[in-house]
Amino acid sequence: MTYFARRLIPLAAFVLLACTAPAGAQAPACTDCHSDVAVHSPVHSKLACADCHTAVKADEDHAEAAKKEIASPGFCSTCHADVDLSHSVHKEVSCARCHGKAHDVVPVKDPRSPVAARNQIQTCAQCHPAASINAYRNSVHGRALFDAGLVSAPSCTTCHGSHDIVKASDPASRVSHAKAPATCGTCHTFILDDWQQSSHGKAWNHGQGNGKGPTCVTCHGSHGILHPQSAEARQQLPETCSQCHKGKYETYRDTFHGKSSELGFVAAADCSDCHTPHKNLPAADPQSSVNPANLRATCGRCHGDRVTASFVSFKPHLDPRSPNDSKPVHYVWLFMTLLLVGVFGFFGLHDALWLQRSVRGSLRGEFANLRKTEGPYVKRFSRNDSRMHVLVIVTFLLLAATGLPLHFHHAAWAQMLINLLGGVTTARFLHRLAAVGTFGYMIWHLLDVFYRAVIRKEKGLFWGWKSMVPRWKDVQDIWQNFLYFLYRRPKPEIDRWSYWEKFDYLAVFWGVVIIGFSGLMLWLPGLFTRFLPGWVLNAAAIIHGDEALLAVGFIVIFHFFHTHLRPESFPLDPVIFVGSMPLERFKEERPLEYQRLVEAGKLDERLVDPPTPEQLRNARVFGFIAVAIGILLVIGILIGVILY
């Protein structure tokens, strides 16, 4: 036996004895029992099991001890001593709840990590309300991260921190009133600089410690921050500002900017367009965008070179109810208010009495002759008159349908109607188109009167029985009609035109002039402020809105009643559309004109054939549609006045 063999045999015997020793003589490997456990964590791969499971002893059942040990909040601090959760709202939460199981933990910057920027939304959602999580996901921050893929976009920890998170109400919180500006400023550096110089920033700086002064969160919100130029954000901005500036908000909503903005016209100027988003300063400050010296530049961003010195003297926050803001505008508002109350008060009483008298007369059979359609008809209107009236109806209803939503912008029906019309831009085009039509028929009518009075030398157009100008008999007829309503006198004998028809005519004539020219001022403010002061635009807005309200209310409530809805002619009087009326009704309603025609021997010249069934059908279809639209608009007005 060689020397090498003599040495090798004892060594082999020793190894063999060691391998066949009893099981209790050595500690088993962890994988002998935990063969299903694998450590995939790149950060924990070099650790032995006992480095974490320090409480485990091989000679006892250690399952419960191991679970209890690794579930404790401070368990990981053995290695991660730099992480302090003692003041965090998460101090009772285990590390694994956020970072994942220890065997699978990956670096925070690894896209697979539960606390990586894109995964935090699911991780935090385990405990935090879904409303906040969903708001963040749809916010400008969430969209930047998930939709645009910008890894630099803010995630939960960007704003709230990681291991040092405390309640937002805690002054130490990164999103507290005291620290929110600095937190947002880590990304929005230049905006923070502007904000610190603004009235908001100065108010916040002076209010440190007492929670006063607006911060980024006050205006933008927290989790659901919208893109500031989005339609939703622009529409919400006035309400946001109203939390502190309620009075200014109300006056803003009274302007075209405010009304159209609420109806979805995103291009309309909001608070930030005039006052700037972050560097808003008092008007007295020379650097303010609304300082008188800077207004032409500010307004010029939208209105271009049409801005004049008078243009910028328009007051967007003027309260017409206060004489201190502008006495001329206040008196205009006062006059229009009294006019509305006076007209609606007088004709409301007039028509209420008329209605009860007509109902009782109908029950007594007093109006039997008015219902007769047999026999000859009397020509009352020319074909041009009928066509003109159709044009008046179409343009009037179109003006009302496109203008009233702006006046009652706060009512739900206004938004529905403006959407039906195609939005504010389309409604504005239709409104102006109808305005052109209105000016058109007004000019045509004036030319017709001029031709008849000057060229044809027609008499009686401006005074007398066939004139639309009121005279003393109209006053007498009003008084006698009230007595008739009260069963004290017979009804007055009416000539070619009744006093209520003259009022209807003059209301349209007055309305076209007043509404038309005030509307032109609002349509072309740059032109009119070249020679008029800016407060005229404030006055024009009041006149245009109130006069339009008066026109729609009067025409639909009173004119429709006088013409179509009173029991004597209900449900529709087609005379204006077909141009003629039954002779028996003519004798009953226009006795003085009938008598004059008989005495002059001209009655036969006015007699015509009855309208054809087709003419009556067309008149009724068009008339019912017009009346229905008008009634719906008045219902909208009443809802806007009463409920809002």
Query: Measured between alpha carbons, how far is residue 232 from residues 96, 180, 362, 413 in Å?
Result: 39, 24, 56, 20
Own/partner long-range contacts of 492-496 (Cβ < 8 Å, ≥24 apart): 493/591, 493/592, 494/589, 494/590, 494/591, 494/592, 494/593, 495/465, 495/590, 495/592, 495/593, 495/596, 496/465, 496/466, 496/590, 496/592, 496/593
| Geometric angle at alpha carbon 347, from 620 and 390, rounded to 5° | 30
Taking residues 434-443, report their average pLDDT: 95
pLDDT of residue 14: 44
Measured in Å, how far apart are the chain's first and last C-alpha atoms? 117
The enclosing H or E element of 597 equals helix 591-600
Alpha carbon distance 418, 374 (integer Å): 45
DSSP state letter for 471 = -
Is the per-residue pLDDT at 547 higher than 60?
yes
Taking residues 318-344, report their average pLDDT: 95
Q: Give tens-digit pLDDT for 253-309.
A: 999 999 999 999 999 999 999 999 999 999 999 999 999 999 999 999 999 888 998
Asked whether 252 and 317 are in contact (CB, 8 A), the reply is yes
Edge-to-edge strands, sheet with 580-582: 580-582, 377-379, 607-608
pLDDT of residue 25: 42
pLDDT of residue 284: 94
Sign of CA dihedral 376, 379, 383, 386: negative
Is the per-residue pLDDT at 543 higher than 60?
yes
pLDDT of residue 63: 62
Q: Which tokens in the block code for residue 193?
A: 């600089």
pLDDT of residue 154: 93
Asked whether 50 and 20 are in contact (CB, 8 A), the reply is no
Alpha carbon distance 491, 511 (integer Å): 30
Query: Measured between alpha carbons, how far is residue 533 from residues 40, 154, 328, 527, 592 in Å?
Result: 78, 50, 11, 11, 51
pLDDT of residue 209: 58
Asked whether 142 and 121 are in contact (CB, 8 A), the reply is yes
Tell me the three state secondary structure of residue 262. helix
- What pairs with residue 581 in β-bridges? 378
What average pLDDT is seen over the chain? Answer: 89
Alpha carbon distance 189, 196 (integer Å): 11
* Residue 505 banded pLDDT, cuts 50, 70, 90: very high
Q: Give tens-digit pLDDT for 370-425.
A: 777 788 999 999 999 999 999 999 999 999 999 999 999 999 999 999 999 999 99
Asked whether 527 and 508 are in contact (CB, 8 A), the reply is no
Alpha carbon distance 236, 140 (integer Å): 15
The rounded Cα 565 to chain-centroid distance in angstroms is: 35
What is the DSSP secondary-structure string of 322-371? -TTT-HHHHHHHHHHHHHHHHHHHHHHHHHHHHHHHHHHHHHHTTTGGGG
Residues 6 or more apart in contact with residue 538 via CB below 8 angstroms = 314, 315, 318, 320, 326, 329
Which candidate, 574, 583, 584, places its Cα nearest to that of 626?
Answer: 574
pLDDT of residue 211: 72
pLDDT of residue 72: 61
pLDDT of residue 424: 95
Q: Which tokens in the block code for residue 342?
A: 């006076």
Q: Give tens-digit pLDDT for 67-94.
A: 555 656 567 877 888 888 888 899 888 8
Q: Which tokens in the block code for residue 219?
A: 């205006």
CB atoms within 10 A of CB 471: 15
The pTM is what? 0.83
